[in-house]
C-alpha cells in the first residue's frame, strides 16, 4: 500500500481512535479530549516483518488491540498516553512500542516535502515510562485522526438537514436547504441529482457518495 498524504489518514494507518470525547469550548491551543488508542496488528504486517522486528512477534497478531488512553486538557500542553486498570500490563508493555513505531512510520509521510519538518525516529524505550508515555510523533498522528473524526461528525450532522455539494472547479462545499435520504427516497434522490447536474455540472452531491469519499472532498474544500 502506497501512502498518499492527500488522502484520509485513517485508512492508511494501523492506529485508530475510539470513544472520542471532545470539548470544543475547552480546546484552546490543542484539542481538549480523551480517547482510546487502538492498534490493528494485522495492518502492521504490511510494513513490519513479524519476528525480525524486535518489537513484533508472531503471537502479537491479534487484530485490533486497545493499547492506551490519550488525554489532553486543551491548553497547549502535550498529550498524555496512559495505561488504565482496564488495560493489562502485558498489553501495554508489548504494544505501546509498536504504537510508537507506527507513528514513526507515518510522520515523515504526512509531512513529506515540508522543508521545515525534520522527521525524528523516536525510540520506544525513550518515550515509554512505567504506565505513561509521551511521543511527539504519536501525538501528531492522533491529532490528525481527531481532526478527521470531528470533520466527519460535522459533515454528517449537516447532511441530516441539507444537501451538500462539492464544486470541482472552485474546490468549495455548498449547502442547499434540501433534506435528502437516498436510502428511503431513491427516486427523489435521482431527480435531485439530475437537476443538480443540469444546473451546476461542476458540483458533486456528497450525500450520495460513499462516506469516505465524501469526507475526502469535504476536508479538501476551500
Cα distance between residue 186 and residue 4, in whole Å = 34
- Taking the alpha carbons at both ends of the chain, their separation in whole angstroms is 28
pLDDT, averaged across the chain: 91
pLDDT reported for residue 1:
65
Reported confidence tier of residue 25, pLDDT bands at 50, 70, 90:
very high
| pLDDT tens sequence across 90-100 | 999 999 999 99
pLDDT reported for residue 104:
93
Angle, alpha carbons 59-64-65 (nearest 5°): 70
Give the alpha-carbon dihedral of 119, 12, 217, 113, to 10 degrees: 20
Question: Regarding predicted confidence, which is higher, 63 or 188?
Answer: 63
C-alpha cell at 187: 427516486
User: Is 170:203 a contact under the CB 8 Å cutoff?
Assistant: no
Cα distance between residue 191 and residue 98, in whole Å = 50
Return the minimum-mean-pLDDT range out of 21-25, 54-58, 121-125.
54-58
pLDDT at 120 over 90: no
Cα distance between residue 222 and residue 220, in whole Å = 7
pLDDT reported for residue 188:
84
User: What would the mean pLDDT of 46-51 be, rounded to a whole number?
Assistant: 82
Q: Considering the chain, what percentage of its residues have pLDDT values greater than 70?
A: 100
Strand partners, 129: 132
pLDDT at 34 over 90: yes
The angle, 0 to 180 degrees and rounded to 10, between the axes of the packed helices 89-110 and 136-159 is 80
User: Is 71:79 a contact under the CB 8 Å cutoff?
Assistant: yes
User: Is 220:166 a contact under the CB 8 Å cutoff?
Assistant: no
User: What would the mean pLDDT of 134-157 be, rounded to a whole number?
Assistant: 95
Amino acid at each position: 500500500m502506497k501512502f498518499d498524504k492527500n488522502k484520509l489518514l485513517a485508512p492508511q494507518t494501523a492506529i485508530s481512535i475510539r470513544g472520542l470525547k471532545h470539548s470544543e469550548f475547552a480546546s484552546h491551543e490543542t484539542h481538549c479530549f480523551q480517547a482510546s488508542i487502538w492498534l490493528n496488528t494485522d495492518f502492521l504486517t504490511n510494513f513490519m516483518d513479524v519476528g525480525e522486528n524486535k518489537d513484533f512477534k508472531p503471537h502479537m497478531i491479534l487484530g485490533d488491540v486497545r493499547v492506551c488512553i490519550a488525554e489532553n486538557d486543551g491548553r497547549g500542553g502535550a498529550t498524555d498516553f496512559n495505561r488504565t486498570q482496564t488495560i493489562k500490563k502485558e498489553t501495554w508493555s508489548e504494544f505501546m512500542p509498536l504504537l510508537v513505531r507506527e507513528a514513526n512510520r507515518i510522520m515523515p509521510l504526512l509531512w513529506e516535502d515540508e522543508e521545515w519538518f525534520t522527521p525524528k525516529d523516536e525510540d520506544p524505550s525513550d518515550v515509554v515510562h512505567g504506565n505513561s508515555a509521551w511521543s511527539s510523533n504519536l501525538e501528531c498522528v492522533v491529532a490528525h485522526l481527531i481532526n478527521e473524526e470531528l470533520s466527519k461528525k460535522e459533515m454528517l450532522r449537516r447532511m441530516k438537514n441539507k444537501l451538500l455539494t462539492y464544486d470541482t472547479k472552485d474546490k468549495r462545499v455548498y449547502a442547499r436547504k434540501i433534506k435528502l435520504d437516498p436510502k428511503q427516497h431513491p427516486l427523489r434522490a435521482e431527480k435531485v441529482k439530475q437537476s443538480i447536474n443540469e444546473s451546476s455540472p461542476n458540483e458533486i452531491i456528497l450525500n450520495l457518495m460513499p462516506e469516505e469519499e465524501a469526507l475526502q472532498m469535504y476536508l479538501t474544500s476551500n
